């Protein structure tokens, strides 16, 4: 058999890479190795609709079995890669099998970060990363009365929003940061979202370090904070972020930083190996060329399209505007661009009406836009960022200006031959 | 099961037998229909499942949110433009033809 494309990782990045390679005319064999036994599934609903019972696992398929069969993409599910040998162009699986490759793609994602405190191994302590995590958590939630979520990032808050909607439980979110969403949202947006969570009945304890999780008879009973106070809990969910899975690449000697170093086309320091998705890090024009590692679906998808283009000799294209979204408590939150280096923010629309956007500037340049319940405005913002439009803070804040009509039409007129 | 017909810009058609109750985007994605990207997974957040719907089928009018998103689609917006994720499949849509635009982003 010919040595084709071997893809490690069967989630958004790996599956879209395989599909796009076939669309681009790649004729060599394609094999996807996935650690989880479940067929490839969509991850975003795990912390949203799945917990709320609005969607079921069978609704989450990324592609049907028929698709993989027809596209001749082999799935090796339930097997983990344990070693990569770039010189021998070979990957070793956990069951001892060795797979040869012509090209290798690392789409190994990230894993829930281990808790930096004692007690995380108690019964009643859960994480939310995989489908099986989510299904187990859903069962636990049905029987839980006192839920403590550790971590006020997007995953923790989507989960607490789902629990608030279910009702009937005390829900507490604890975070060591002084505000929620410290890593992923502006302070202004965080304040607005925190207010909504409190209004929904969720208790937010911020600026609090966790000393340990206490238990009795092997089951968790409470969360003890560094100041000695205790929060009763029969279910504790750890939503404290992830660790990138770049271990295989490091051991194999590929250049790594905060993840596997890649160029725009996903190429690593080995010309036969690409990396994409959560495990890859690259220079971004949306962060003044700084190294950026993103953990979102858009990044996985862009990485897949760029790598597929590079591998099949098609134009890779400019780096698209990074974006992500979250749904919680009836709020559609979307961020376009990256918020690093921001020194000025203006608001557009009305916070009271629950539909507004925050336009963040670094010096004179638009850097990022956060929208609340304004998906069309989000799309406009993405295009403005993509084109590097010279929009001023005053213009961004002026709701009398139709931004799409004024700036995008002008851009199109300028770029016309 | 209703049959939905997805037509590529080059005219090539793909017939998909789609269960009632799921949306036109999901039916396309599951079957690997090219050109329907749906980057957001169907949350009406990305406008990359743009299609041109065929005439003669009883489709619900787009909600204001979908209308606003359609103003920002990558390909030309036509009166037949819709987001596939916002239309639920019913038996009444059996035989519906969806034309896929040349680009989604």
Q: Is the pLDDT of residue A326 over 60?
A: yes
B105 at A interface, C-beta within 8 A: yes
pLDDT computed for residue B40 by the predictor: 80
Which residues in B lie closer than 8 A to residue A61 (C-beta atoms)? Answer: 30
pLDDT tens sequence across B63-98: 988 998 898 898 999 999 999 999 999 999 999 999
Burial bucket for residue A177 (CB in 10 Å: 0-12, 13-18, 19+): middle
pLDDT computed for residue A172 by the predictor: 98
* Beta pairing partners, A332: A327
pLDDT tens sequence across A201-256: 999 999 999 999 999 999 999 999 999 999 999 999 999 999 999 999 999 999 99
pTM to 2 decimal places = 0.93
ipTM of the complex: 0.85
pLDDT computed for residue A410 by the predictor: 54
Which residues in B lie closer than 8 A to residue A44 (C-beta atoms)? Answer: 40-41, 43
For residues A161, A163, A166, A169, the Cα torsion angle rounded to the nearest 10 degrees is -130
B20 at A interface, C-beta within 8 A: no
Residue A130 · residue A40 · CB < 8 Å: no
B102 at A interface, C-beta within 8 A: no
Which of A58, A379, A402 is the best residue to mutate to test the B interface, defined by the most B CB atoms within 10 Å of its own CB?
Answer: A379
Nearest Cα of chain A lies from the Cα of B25 at a distance, in angstroms, of 12
Q: Beta strands A235-238 and A146-150: pairing type?
A: parallel
Nearest Cα of chain A lies from the Cα of B43 at a distance, in angstroms, of 9
B90 at A interface, C-beta within 8 A: no
B71 at A interface, C-beta within 8 A: yes
Ordered domains of chain A (ranges, CATH): 5-42+61-111+243-311 (3.50.50.60), 125-240 (3.50.50.60), 330-415 (3.30.390.30)
Structure tokens at B60: 């619900």
Cβ distance of B72 and A19 shorter than 8 Å:
no
Residue A180 · residue A197 · CB < 8 Å: yes
Q: d(Cα A99, Cα A3) in Å, to the nearest integer?
A: 9
Q: Is the pLDDT of residue A412 over 60?
A: no
Residue A208 · residue A226 · CB < 8 Å: yes
Question: For A12-26, A39-53, A369-383, which range has the lowest pLDDT when averaged over its residues?
Answer: A39-53
**Residue of B26, B88, B29 lying closest to B63 (CA atoms):** B88
**Residue of A233, B98, B91, A216 lying closest to A224 (CA atoms):** A233
Which residues in B lie closer than 8 A to residue A71 (C-beta atoms)? Answer: 32
Q: Is the pLDDT of residue A283 over 90?
A: yes
Q: How far is CA A354 from CA A162, A189, A192, A407, in A?
A: 19, 11, 9, 25
Cβ distance of A298 and B43 shorter than 8 Å:
no
pLDDT tens sequence across A146-164: 999 999 999 999 999 999 9
DSSP string, B42-76: SSS-S---EEEEPSSS-PPPPPHHHHHHHTT-SS-
B38 at A interface, C-beta within 8 A: no
pLDDT computed for residue A417 by the predictor: 41
Structure tokens at A367: 């850097």
Confidence of residue A54 (pLDDT cuts 50, 70, 90): confident
Q: d(Cα A177, Cα A158) in Å, to the nearest integer?
A: 17
Q: How far is CA A267 from CA A18, A108, A115, A304, A316, in A?
A: 16, 15, 33, 11, 12
With b for 16 or more beta-carbon neighbours within 10 A and e for fewer, the B8-33 pattern comes to eeeeeebebebeeeebbbbbbbbbbb
Q: d(Cα A135, Cα A215) in Å, to the nearest integer?
A: 23
Q: d(Cα A55, Cα A270) in Å, to the nearest integer?
A: 41
pLDDT computed for residue A3 by the predictor: 78
Q: Is the pLDDT of residue A416 over 50?
A: no
Residue A201 · residue A126 · CB < 8 Å: no
Which of A48, A328, A376, A385 is the best residue to mutate to test the B interface, defined by the most B CB atoms within 10 Å of its own CB?
Answer: A376
| Mean pLDDT confidence for A389-399 | 94
Q: Is the pLDDT of residue A411 over 60?
A: no
Residues 47-66 of B with CB under 8 A from A: 47, 65
């Amino acid at each position: 058999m010919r040595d084709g494309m071997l893809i490690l990782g069967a989630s958004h990045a790996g599956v879209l890479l395989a599909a796009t390679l076939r669309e681009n005319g790649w004729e060599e064999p394609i094999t996807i190795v996935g650690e989880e036994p479940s067929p490839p599934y969509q991850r975003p609903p795990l912390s949203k609709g799945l917990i709320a019972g609005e969607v079921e696992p069978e609704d989450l398929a990324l592609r049907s079995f028929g698709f993989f069969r027809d596209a001749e993409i082999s799935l090796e599910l339930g097997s983990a890669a344990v070693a990569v040998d770039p010189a021998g162009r070979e990957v070793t699986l956990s069951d001892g099998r060795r797979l040869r490759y012509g090209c290798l793609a690392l789409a190994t994602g990230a894993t829930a970060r281990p808790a930096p405190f004692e007690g995380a191994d108690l019964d009643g302590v859960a994480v939310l990363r995989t489908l099986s995590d989510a299904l187990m958590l859903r069962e636990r939630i049905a029987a839980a009365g006192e839920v403590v979520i550790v971590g006020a990032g997007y995953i923790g808050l989507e989960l607490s929003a789902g629990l608030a909607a279910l009702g009937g439980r005390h829900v507490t979110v604890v975070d060591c940061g002084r505000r929620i969403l410290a890593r992923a949202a502006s302070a202004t947006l965080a304040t607005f979202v925190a207010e909504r969570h409190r209004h929904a009945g969720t208790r937010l304890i911020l600026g609090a370090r966790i000393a340990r999780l206490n238990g009795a008879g092997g089951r968790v009973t409470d969360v003890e904070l560094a100041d000695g106070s205790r929060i009763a809990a029969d279910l504790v969910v750890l939503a404290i972020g992830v660790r990138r899975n770049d271990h295989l690449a490091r051991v194999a000697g590929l250049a790594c930083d905060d993840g596997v170093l890649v160029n725009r086309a996903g190429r690593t320091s080995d010309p036969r190996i690409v990396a994409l998705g959560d495990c890859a890090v690259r220079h971004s024009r949306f962060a003044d060329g700084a190294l950026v590692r993103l953990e979102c679906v858009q990044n996985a998808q862009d990485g897949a399209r760029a790598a597929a283009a590079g591998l099949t000799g098609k134009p890779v294209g400019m780096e698209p505007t990074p974006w992500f979204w979250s749904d919680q408590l009836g709020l559609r939150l979307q961020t376009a661009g990256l918020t690093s280096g921001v020194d000025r923010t203006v608001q557009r629309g009305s916070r009271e009406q629950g539909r507004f956007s925050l336009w963040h500037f670094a010096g004179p340049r638009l850097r990022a836009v956060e929208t609340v319940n304004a998906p069309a405005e989000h799309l406009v913002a993405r295009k403005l960022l993509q084109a590097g439009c010279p929009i001023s803070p005053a213009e961004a804040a002026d709701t009398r200006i139709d931004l799409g009509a004024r700036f995008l039409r002008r851009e199109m007129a300028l770029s016309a031959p | 099961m209703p049959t939905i017909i997805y037509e590529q810009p080059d005219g090539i058609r793909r017939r998909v037998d789609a269960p009632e109750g799921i949306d036109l985007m999901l039916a396309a994605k599951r079957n690997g229909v090219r050109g329907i990207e749906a980057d957001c997974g169907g949350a009406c957040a990305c406008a990359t499942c743009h299609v041109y719907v065929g005439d003669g089928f009883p489709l619900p009018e787009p909600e204001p949110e979908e209308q606003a998103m359609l103003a920002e689609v990558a390909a030309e917006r036509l009166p037949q433009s819709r987001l596939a994720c916002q239309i639920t499949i019913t038996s009444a849509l059996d035989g519906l033809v969806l034309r896929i635009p040349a680009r989604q982003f």
